[in-house]
A and B are shown apart, each in its own frame.
Chain A
Amino acid sequence: MNFKHKYVFLLPGLIVLIGILIFPVIFTVRLSLSGWNSFNPELDFVGIKNYIRLFTEDPRFWQSFFRLSFLAVTTVFLQYVIGFALAHMVWKDIKFKRFFRVLFLIPMMTTPVIMTVIWRTFFHESLGPLNDFLGLFGLQPQWLSSPGLAKVSIIVVEVWQWTSFMFLLMLAGLLSLPKEPFLAAAIDGASPFKKFIYVTFPLMAPISIGAIIIRLIEASKIMDTVFVLTSGGPGTSTETSSFYIFIKGLREFQMGYAATMSFTYLIIMIISLTIIAKVLTKVLMRE
């Protein structure tokens, strides 16, 4: 392996990425140390005042983080289980295989900022079809106006949209599995269940981990759904970190503080994800 070759492969992408990102990232860190505000758009230096404020005076941020963790983990878990199951089911012999495969891909292709408006109308308690239908059974759940159900609504929308992501990754993974282990298992007379547990699942472990990590990252940024459906409400029951950062940043224009929150969020996420990745590797890859 020549010294030169590996860098020729890696560097173009890496350099482009760093080149474009370096200024914004450094600026953001610098921003978090300033008091940039709508009426004070200066990169003045206030030291770590923002960070102190974040850690001592802002329980709302930490509450939102807690909520976010709950929502993200729940949705990703559901997406993984359902996505994997669907992929497994349309992998081989099933009628209309192609139709189902294409159909299951479509939800993630919808633009969230528009689709969530349609979901808003869908969940609308007075004028929407869901409660209209459930009304036939005498049920009128307050999808968006009760704290508990609001979270459920958000989970439903997220699962609808992003299970396709998991589905596609899992399907691609399944389709590129080598045949040998399966032949061996067939020779051994393994039942479908055993085949799954001992052959399919372990072989799919690396891609499962990759998929879960990337979905966790994306799910944590959940914004449009919360914004359009409930605006973080009722009260603050569906307010997630990214929503809170958005409000502080682009509505109240406390850009300095928003940068502080974002940077803290970034660090926490990196630490959490590293831990999660290690745990998952241990759990899923044991033979």
Chain B
Amino acid sequence: MAKIYTFLKYLFVILWACFVIAPFLWAISTSFKDFNSVTSGATYIPWLQFEPTLDGWSVLFKPGSQGGINIVGPYFNSIFVTLTASIISIALGTLAAYALSRYTFKAGIVQNNDITFFFISQRIMPPVVLSIPFFLFLSTLGLLDSLAGLIMVYIVLLMPIAVWIMVDFFNRVPKEIDETALIDGCNPFQAFFKVVLPNSIPGMIVAGLFCIIFGWIDFFFAFILTFTNVQLLPVKIVALNSSITPWWSLSAAALVSVAPLIIVAFVVERYLSKGNLSGALK
């Protein structure tokens, strides 16, 4: 019985792994093609089925006048904006989540759960309608087309996620830990930073990863709120999306886009395994 289960387990995992990898393999292969290789039907193996070229890749580093888009600048812009917004979001969000987990708020009929829900409901609104208001808002502050303006908008987008996830994780840290710390003479802040927080590292890592991801992959707000000074990566990449969809350069761009996050994924996985909470009750 156990053997069948193990077999099925491996089968399922391997099938899903194949499903996950398939588009990436296709993207890798396609990134070395050109127009003719693409239009003559599906091809897979370079040299055997088509002549590989480096066009798809080189175009990511050439300037516009030579038919390319230079993604180096936008790459670093995206990293900066995403990291800054994520860090601030996690900081503020974790604090807020702790409060919502530990304390009771009551303002009329509004309770803890409602406040938590309020945070996450910010993500319900379709971004389209927010384009003009945010545009006006940033332009009044003079922050259009600036890193600071974008970061501000991203904080609004990312903080709710941090709050939502951290509330769940804080709820799993037994309140006894706090109480023990308080009895030991800590004030609530110390209790939080010294005792509870270290035990919520998995949660923070997860929240942090989501913040980074949602910040990195955003296209819409970066598109509406920036012009020539600040260019983020997704906006720059779609600058290739002309009348003929360039399968090859977009594939290369997609791979380049996901690369830094893969590194982050390794880091996350390592911390997840380490930060095993059980047994933290001391």
Contact = CB atoms under 8 A, between A and B. Distances in A.
Physical contact A–B (CB less than 8 Å): yes
B185 interface: no
A9 B189 CA distance: 9
Given A110-B257, A127-B39, A218-B123, A175 B129 contact: no
Contacts of B210: 165, 168
A160 interface: yes
A31 B156 contact: no
Contacts of B17: 100, 103-104
B241 interface: yes
Contacts of B144: none
A13 B97 CA distance: 9
Interface residues of A, number: 97
Q: Which one of B171, B172, B245 has the highest number of Cβ atoms from chain A below 10 Å of its Cβ?
A: B172
A36 B128 CA distance: 14
A118 B120 contact: no
A245 interface: yes
A210 B164 contact: yes
A9 B25 CA distance: 46
B13 A262 contact: no
B128 to A, nearest CB: 4
A172 interface: yes
Interface stretch (A15-23, A53-61, A143-151, A231-239): A15-23
A14 B162 CA distance: 12
A127 B269 contact: no
A214 B120 contact: yes
16 contacts: A24-B133, A28-B133, A103-B17, A109-B216, A110-B258, A111-B237, A113-B217, A117-B241, A118-B23, A127-B39, A129-B26, A160-B19, A176-B172, A178-B277, A258-B129, A265-B126
CB-based closest 10 A-B pairs:
A13-B96, A24-B133, A9-B99, A13-B92, A10-B99, A6-B103, A109-B261, A132-B42, A176-B277, A27-B133
